């Protein structure tokens, strides 16, 4: 990042000298640092859609990230192989950099998924920080400042990897919920974006590939998870005799949840419905899942075929302006992925049982923030916070208490968050020695 003052300059000089002797490429080194980061390990105990503590095996944030990374790398390798001239024209596409960004893209997700992220955003905003909490900005913050790899913080990643991580490569704007970095981290953000044209807010080619791999993984793997769990009724959605379930699903997407307004900014409702019907009536598994060997084989074959198709939907192109994208995605296949993602929202995320659970998760996150923020502000009961957090609060850190507390909570596993809440509120006293 930007060269720090004093002794830190000497440390960074020594660091670059050591890296010059490393046999790995810069992208490979970035990828390995993310893989060994404790924030990455934590993702094994963080919700993708439902809790990793459920009795049935679902994807968690770690397994999701590993699959996004695998798909993103294969996409980059495919384009390098098939479009070498275009790759050169856009300045290169590095598979290692693309994979590294995919591994890091969910590091900033707090415990309990998007609902708890909203709660943390509200609490941090109410504490006086206009940029609140944002999972993507938190990921950027982790790799540039919070991860402990060097004395002055962060993983010291290349500009290429930092830009590949930026799904939203702009600073916070009024009314915009998604952005790349908090106000307190803009020095690192500006350093990463410095080589690009002024006011260029496009994702890099690697970032676009990572983003598409994320969408495909979410659409296909989560669909397979919840079909096999009996939550997404692919048997009824694919029925050749009765279209009632398909009608109900489409009504939920476009009318009940009102998601259609957002989707129709990119595509017409009629086109989205036809894209879904082209998948549902022809290709989805046709029977209720009971777990037979034949069904499991068919499901694996189906997911493999769909992933192959969606990876083939991407072509690299040379932009003609600073608003033109580097990656072109087949429009029909992009709409299919968009609608497959909505299946998880309708049948799982909006499921009353999960909604009730999410309400409880918001209580946990909100109360943890209240208790820890009051302790941090009042400097009383500081021993409620671990030594590393007290050290930050006692130092000359430029970060306000609310940001430091949010970092602490967002870095917990779900079991840590729940156990801490139960102990602090006296619901479960726990042990005096832990």
Residues 7-193, CATH architecture:
Orthogonal Bundle (1.10)
Predicted confidence at residue 258, as pLDDT, reads: 74
Average pLDDT over residues 397-424: 93
- Residue pair 280/246 in contact (Cβ under 8 Å)? The answer is yes
pLDDT at 355 over 90: no
- Residue pair 394/342 in contact (Cβ under 8 Å)? The answer is no
CA distance 243 to 247: 6
pLDDT-derived band at 285 (thresholds 50, 70, 90) equals low
Beta strands, E only, 185-275: none
pLDDT at 54 over 70: no
For the chain, the structural domain boundaries read 7-193, 205-351, 354-424
pLDDT digits (tens, 9 = 90+) for 223-242: 888 898 888 998 899 888 88
Predicted confidence at residue 56, as pLDDT, reads: 67
Q: Which of 2-11, 300-309, 415-424 has the lowest mean pLDDT?
A: 2-11
- Residue pair 284/237 in contact (Cβ under 8 Å)? The answer is yes
Predicted confidence at residue 314, as pLDDT, reads: 96
Predicted confidence at residue 175, as pLDDT, reads: 77
Total Cβ atoms within 10 A of residue 146: 19
Predicted confidence at residue 424, as pLDDT, reads: 92
Which residue, among 44, 70, 37, has the nearest Cα to 59 in the 3D structure? Answer: 44
Helix (H) or strand (E) holding 288: none
Q: Which two tokens stand for residue 62?
A: 């770690």
pLDDT at 106 over 60: yes
Gyration radius of the chain over CA positions: 23
């Amino acid at each position: 990042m930007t060269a720090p003052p004093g002794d830190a300059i000497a440390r960074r000089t020594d660091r670059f000298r050591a890296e010059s002797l490393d046999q790995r490429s810069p992208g490979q080194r970035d990828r390995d640092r993310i893989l060994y980061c404790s924030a990455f390990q934590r993702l094994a105990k963080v919700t993708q859609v439902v809790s990793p503590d459920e009795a049935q095996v679902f994807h968690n944030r770690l397994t999701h990230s590993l699959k996004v990374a695998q798909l993103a790398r294969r996409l980059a390798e495919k384009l390098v192989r098939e479009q070498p001239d275009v790759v050169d024209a856009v300045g290169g596409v590095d598979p290692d950099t693309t994979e590294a960004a995919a591994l890091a893209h969910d590091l900033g997700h707090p415990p309990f998924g998007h609902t708890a992220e909203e709660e943390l955003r509200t609490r941090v905003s109410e504490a006086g920080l206009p940029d609140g909490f944002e999972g993507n900005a938190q990921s950027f913050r982790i790799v540039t400042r919070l991860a402990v790899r060097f004395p002055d913080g962060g993983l010291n990643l290349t500009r290429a990897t930092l830009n590949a991580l930026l799904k939203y490569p702009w600073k916070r704007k009024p009314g915009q919920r998604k952005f790349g970095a908090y106000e307190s981290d803009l020095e690192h953000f500006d350093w990463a974006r410095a080589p690009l044209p002024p006011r260029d807010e496009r994702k890099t080619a690697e970032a676009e590939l990572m983003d598409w791999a994320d969408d495909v993984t979410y659409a296909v793997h989560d669909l397979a998870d919840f079909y096999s769990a009996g939550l997404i009724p692919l048997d009824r959605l694919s029925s050749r005799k009765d279209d009632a379930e398909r009608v109900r699903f489409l009504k939920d997407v476009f009318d009940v949840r009102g998601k259609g307004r957002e989707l129709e900014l990119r595509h017409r409702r009629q086109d989205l419905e036809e894209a879904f019907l082209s998948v549902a009536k022809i290709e989805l598994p046709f029977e209720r899942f009971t777990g037979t060997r034949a069904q499991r084989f068919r499901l694996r074959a189906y997911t493999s075929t769909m992933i192959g198709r969606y990876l083939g939907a991407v072509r690299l192109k040379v932009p003609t302006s600073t608003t033109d994208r580097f990656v072109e995605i087949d429009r029909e296949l992009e709409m299919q992925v968009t609608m497959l993602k909505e299946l998880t929202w309708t049948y799982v995320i909006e499921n009353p049982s999960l909604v009730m659970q999410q309400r409880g998760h918001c209580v946990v996150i909100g109360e943890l923030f209240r208790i820890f923020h009051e302790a941090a502000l009042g400097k009383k009961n500081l021993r409620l916070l671990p030594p590393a957090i007290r050290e930050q609060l006692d130092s000359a850190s430029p970060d306000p208490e609310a940001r430091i507390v949010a970092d602490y909570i967002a870095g917990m596993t779900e079991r840590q968050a729940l156990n801490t809440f139960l102990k602090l509120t006296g619901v479960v006293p726990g042990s005096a020695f832990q």
